[in-house]
């Protein structure tokens, strides 16, 4: 039977029996009706998974016995994808968080674009971060990843762009792109021919509903981002996000073997 999977800040690997955090304890006891003897899986967000058994349930407190570290194949993408998105309505951003997590994005950043209806700061931003972290953690457990999705909120596009200043990784083996509506940008297939296959990191940006303002497009180009097209149709933001991430993973990430060869054993490299 498949074990239920949960995120914790850390696993007390040096202690055989330990108490789970209160929020998780309340979820297991009050919502999921967990029972003593039930097996669960804990993720520490750093790439490790642990098998545990529930040993005690008291009011608001659940204790577990640590069985051991689980060894399983990683499904983390070898390509580091950073996706920046102009803030849109809440339900759309919730969906983007889930889909980006499932598609293997490493870092997700939201910022107020010039055509965004509102920004996020203070307590509203904190509440959103809590919600998005919960959504991302659930998606990670569902899709088999083990590393926590990094989520950030920036005041505007300028602050998002300056977050890469002084980052040596942003120059070497890195591709910077931003999506434009319709066919006004470079085709991603053509861009692969220009950039080559040796890309380790992709910094990508999507505008809000209504697209980029000309000032923002100029700022992105000035920061070294290349405009790309996602085709002739007008896409909703959540659709554009999946299309962009899928294309990136297909051209430089871990989706090529899965789509064309079924497994790494069938890839051209394995057969050569």
Please report, for the domain that includes residue 10, its CATH number.
2.40.240.20
What CATH number does residue 242 fall under? 3.40.1280.10
Give pLDDT, residue 8. 85
Q: So what's the pLDDT on residue 196?
A: 76
pLDDT in tens, 213-250: 999 999 999 999 999 999 888 899 999 999 999 999 99
Question: Looking at the domain assignment, is residue 267 inside a domain?
Answer: no
Our count of domains for the chain comes to 2
Going from the C-alpha of 171 to that of each of 60, 69, 167, the distances in angstroms are 49, 37, 8
Percent of the chain with pLDDT over 70: 90
pLDDT confidence band for 141 (50 / 70 / 90): confident
pLDDT at 23 over 80: yes
Query: Could you tell me the residue range of the domain that residue 21 belongs to?
Result: 4-70
Q: What is the pLDDT of residue 69?
A: 87
Chosen domain end from 49, 70, 91: 70
Q: Identify the pLDDT of residue 234.
A: 87
- Is residue 155's pLDDT more than 80? yes
Asked if pLDDT for residue 267 goes beyond 80, the answer is no
114 and 194 in a single domain? The answer is yes
Give the per-residue pLDDT at 262: 53
**151 is a domain residue:** yes
Is the domain of 162 the same as that of 128?
yes
Residue 265 has pLDDT above 70, yes or no: no
- What are the tokens at 250? 């297909």
Residue 170, pLDDT above cutoff 60: no
| Same domain, residue pair 31 and 101 | no
Q: Give the model's pLDDT for residue 261.
A: 53
- The mean pLDDT value for 99-127 works out to 92
pLDDT of residue 214: 94
231, part of any domain:
yes
| Domain presence at residue 263 | no
Positive or negative torsion for Cα 134, 139, 145, 151: negative
Q: Which of 70, 89, 123 is the last residue of a domain?
A: 70
* HEC assignment per residue over the chain: CCCEEEECCCCCCCCCEEECCHHHHHHHHHHCCCCCCCEEEEECEECCEEEEEEEEEECCEEEEEEEEEECCCCCCCCCEEEEEEECCCHHHHHHHHHHHHHCCCCEEEEECCCCCCCCCCHHHHHHHHHHHHHHHHHHHHHHCCCECCEEEEECCHHHHHHCCCCCHHHCCCEEEEEEECCCCCECHHHHHHHHCCCCCEEEEEECCCCCCCHHHHHHHHHCCCEEEECCCCCCCHHHHHHHHHHHHHHHHCCHHHHHHCCCHHHCHHHHC
Same domain for 34 and 88, yes or no, is: no
- CA dist 47 and 50 (Å) reads 10
> For residues 32 and 83, is the Cβ–Cβ distance under 8 A?
no
What's the pLDDT tens digit per position in 71-108?
Answer: 877 788 999 999 999 999 889 999 999 999 999 999 99
118 with 228, same domain: the answer is yes
pLDDT bin (cut points 50, 70, 90) of residue 271 is very low
Is 28 part of any domain? yes
More confident site: 165 or 104: 104
- Residue ending a domain, among 23, 41, 70, is 70
């Amino acid at each position: 039977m498949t074990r239920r999977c949960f995120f914790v800040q850390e696993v007390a690997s040096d202690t055989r029996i330990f108490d789970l955090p209160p929020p998780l304890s309340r979820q297991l006891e009050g919502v999921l009706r967990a029972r003593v003897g039930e097996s669960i899986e804990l993720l520490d967000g750093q790439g490790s998974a642990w098998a545990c058994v529930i040993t005690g349930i008291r009011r608001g407190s659940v204790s577990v016995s640590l069985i051991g570290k689980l060894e399983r194949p990683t499904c983390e993408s070898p390509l580091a994808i950073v996706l920046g998105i102009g803030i849109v309505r809440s339900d759309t951003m919730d969906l983007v968080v889930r889909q980006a997590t499932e598609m293997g994005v490493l870092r997700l950043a939201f910022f107020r674009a010039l055509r965004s209806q509102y920004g996020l700061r203070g307590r509203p931003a904190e509440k959103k971060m809590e919600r998005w972290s919960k959504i991302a953690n659930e998606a990670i457990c569902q899709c088999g990843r083990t590393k926590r999705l990094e989520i950030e909120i920036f005041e505007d596009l300028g602050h998002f762009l300056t977050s890469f200043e002084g980052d040596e990784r942003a120059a070497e083996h890195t591709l910077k792109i931003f999506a434009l509506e319709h066919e006004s940008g470079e085709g991603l297939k053509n861009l692969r021919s220009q950039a080559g296959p040796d890309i380790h990191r992709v910094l990508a940006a999507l505008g809000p509903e209504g697209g980029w303002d000309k000032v923002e497009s100029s700022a992105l180009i000035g920061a070294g981002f290349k405009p790309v097209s996602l085709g002739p149709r007008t896409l909703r933001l959540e659709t554009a996000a999946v299309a962009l991430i899928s294309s990136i993973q297909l051209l430089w990430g871990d989706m090529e073997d899965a789509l064309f060869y079924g497994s790494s054993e069938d890839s051209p490299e394995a057969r050569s």
